[in-house]
């Protein structure tokens, strides 16, 4: 696949939030073919771009940002449809090509030729695809709780338990699914939002600024549909080193999909499984995940 993306740069900085981290990060926007992508940046050095999943926003990475900013420029984005980024109407605006284009634009906007890409959940899917199709801009790849796309497709095709546990995604693919979801309900999915009222309110506010219909377009446009089949187009070998961290209590993305990941990685693959953590592994095992990332990057 030869991906060509037209980039436009829009400079701008805004001040939001009232926490120490939110006051110290630099908030800005990159213009991805008319769609403004919000980001928060902290630190200096090699660039790490962090991409959240569903239903989340840039602040999900605050543990990792604080810890890694002493050695890197860490930039956490709001994906399109979420929080302070634009929310274009129409499911076609949430195809994988557009999502990869947003990441491409942010890297170029920051004046870099390549970056270390770190993604969780849908952010992990975008990161995998970006590394497959735009390898020259992918220095290293770090994925949290999102198996390789081919592994997930294989399990959906052959693993009845994964098919059963993916019912939520089939529900989200229904045209009116967004009508039954609220920011308050979605905030309960995020592990950190359960910890204390102030953090929960932060997530509710971010989801209130988001477009729930747009968030579900990710599933409608990109998640495999029945009848499930193995997609051999996803078996492209990655050229970047890969760190794959997976909380084994994840009920949505089962660990069986991790098998044979090494067959789709040309360079070294480091696989770390955490038996006590679930889907939001970077929050549930924040210290272990962050120190693992820093150690792996410093090799």
Buried b / exposed e over 167-187, threshold 16 CB at 10 Å, is eebeebbeeebbeebebeebb
Question: Is the Cβ–Cβ distance between 75 and 105 less than 8 Å?
Answer: no
| Annotated active-site residue in 56, 78, 121, 211 | 121
Question: Is the Cβ–Cβ distance between 102 and 80 less than 8 Å?
Answer: yes
As a whole number of angstroms, the distance between CA 50 and CA 118 comes to: 5
Question: Is the Cβ–Cβ distance between 42 and 69 less than 8 Å?
Answer: yes
In three-state secondary structure terms, 180 is helix
As a whole number of angstroms, the distance between CA 160 and CA 153 comes to: 12
| Annotated active-site residue in 52, 62, 120, 279 | 279
| Annotated active-site residue in 78, 228, 246, 250 | 228
Question: Is the Cβ–Cβ distance between 210 and 235 less than 8 Å?
Answer: no
As a whole number of angstroms, the distance between CA 273 and CA 267 comes to: 20
Output phi, psi for 282, to 5 deg.
-70, -15
Residue 158 annotated in active site: no
Q: Distances in Å between the alpha carbon of 223 and those of 88, 95, 166, 173, 283? A: 19, 10, 10, 8, 24
- In sign, the C-alpha dihedral spanning 132, 133, 135, 139 is negative
Q: Which two tokens stand for residue 139?
A: 């220095």
Beta strands in the chain (DSSP E): 13-14, 26-32, 35-42, 47-51, 73-77, 115-120, 138-144, 242-247, 269-274
| Cis preceding linkage at 89, omega within 30 | no
Residue 228 annotated in active site: yes
Q: Catalytic positions, please?
A: 121, 228, 279
């Amino acid at each position: 696949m030869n991906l060509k993306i037209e980039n436009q740069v829009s400079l701008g900085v805004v001040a939001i939030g009232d926490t120490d981290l939110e006051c110290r990060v630099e908030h800005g926007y990159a213009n991805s073919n008319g769609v403004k992508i919000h980001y928060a940046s902290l630190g200096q050095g090699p660039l790490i771009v962090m991409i959240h999943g569903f239903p989340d926003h840039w602040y999900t990475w605050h543990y990792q940002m604080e810890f890694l900013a002493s050695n890197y420029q860490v930039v956490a984005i709001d994906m399109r449809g979420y929080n302070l980024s634009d929310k274009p109407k129409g499911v076609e605006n949430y195809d994988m090509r557009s999502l990869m284009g947003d990441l491409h634009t942010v890297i170029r906007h920051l004046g870099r030729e390549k970056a270390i890409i770190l993604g969780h959940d849908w952010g992990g899917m975008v990161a995998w695809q970006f590394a497959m199709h735009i390898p020259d801009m992918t220095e290293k790849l770090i994925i949290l709780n999102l198996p390789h796309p081919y592994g997930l497709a294989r399990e959906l095709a052959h693993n009845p338990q994964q098919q059963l546990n993916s019912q939520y995604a089939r529900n989200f693919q229904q045209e009116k699914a967004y009508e039954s979801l609220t920011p308050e309900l979605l905030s309960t999915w995020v592990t950190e939002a359960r910890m204390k009222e102030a953090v929960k309110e932060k997530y509710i506010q971010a989801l209130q600024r988001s477009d729930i219909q747009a968030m579900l377009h990710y599933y409608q446009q990109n998640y495999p549909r029945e009848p499930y089949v193995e997609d051999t187009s996803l078996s492209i070998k990655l050229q970047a080193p890969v760190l794959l961290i997976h909380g084994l209590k994840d009920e949505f993305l089962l660990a069986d999909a991790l098998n044979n990941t090494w067959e789709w990685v040309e360079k070294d693959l480091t696989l770390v499984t955490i038996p006590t953590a679930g889907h939001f592994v970077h929050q549930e095992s924040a210290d272990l995940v962050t120190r693992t990332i820093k150690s792996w990057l410093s090799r």
